[in-house]
Amino acid sequence: MAAGLGFLLLMTGATAVHAHPLPAPEGKVMLTVEGDISRTNGDGVARFDRAMLKELPQSTIVTHTPWTEGTSRFEGPLLGAIYDAVGAHGDLLHVVALNDFAADVPLAEAKQYDVILAMRRDGEPMPVREYGPLFVLYPFDDHPELQTEEVRFRSVWQVARIIAE
């Protein structure tokens, strides 16, 4: 609880917070963020467990995807919030899956469209066999201009790492 409160205070603080490290994850690490970042919790990287990811600003996207049937409700932290939480610099998020598939998500696009790192689909955590545990998700139904091969390519599932560039 105390670590969670400390993490929340870190995320809402002003510029002085940049010098403070992130709290250490207490649960299983779901995401590692590295690259050009100024806030870490060990060895120059930022590791997040489920609880830490849930404390970041969240969003919900209800949409069809090219990979799932029907409309689904996806929930998770905003990619832009992850970028901000680690004090990242640059304008690109290089997203890497468990199988080393990777794609680049422009930060401006992630913030413009409130792209999320989905952790839940229809109220349930997503297992690896169903695109989880983390899935870069765009609001496809709300923005027809996102329904392109280029954007679909950026919708990495089974996300393990993000490299800020």
Please write the tens of the pLDDT for every residue from 73-85.
999 999 999 999 9
pTM for the full predicted model: 0.87
Structural domain boundaries in the chain: 2-13+24-164
Q: How far apart are CA 39 and CA 82, in angstroms?
A: 11
User: Domain 2-13+24-164: which CATH class?
Assistant: alpha beta
CA distance linking residue 154 with residue 49, whole number of Å: 23
| Segment 24-31 mean pLDDT | 97
Distance CA 138, CA 132 (A): 15
Mean pLDDT of the chain: 90
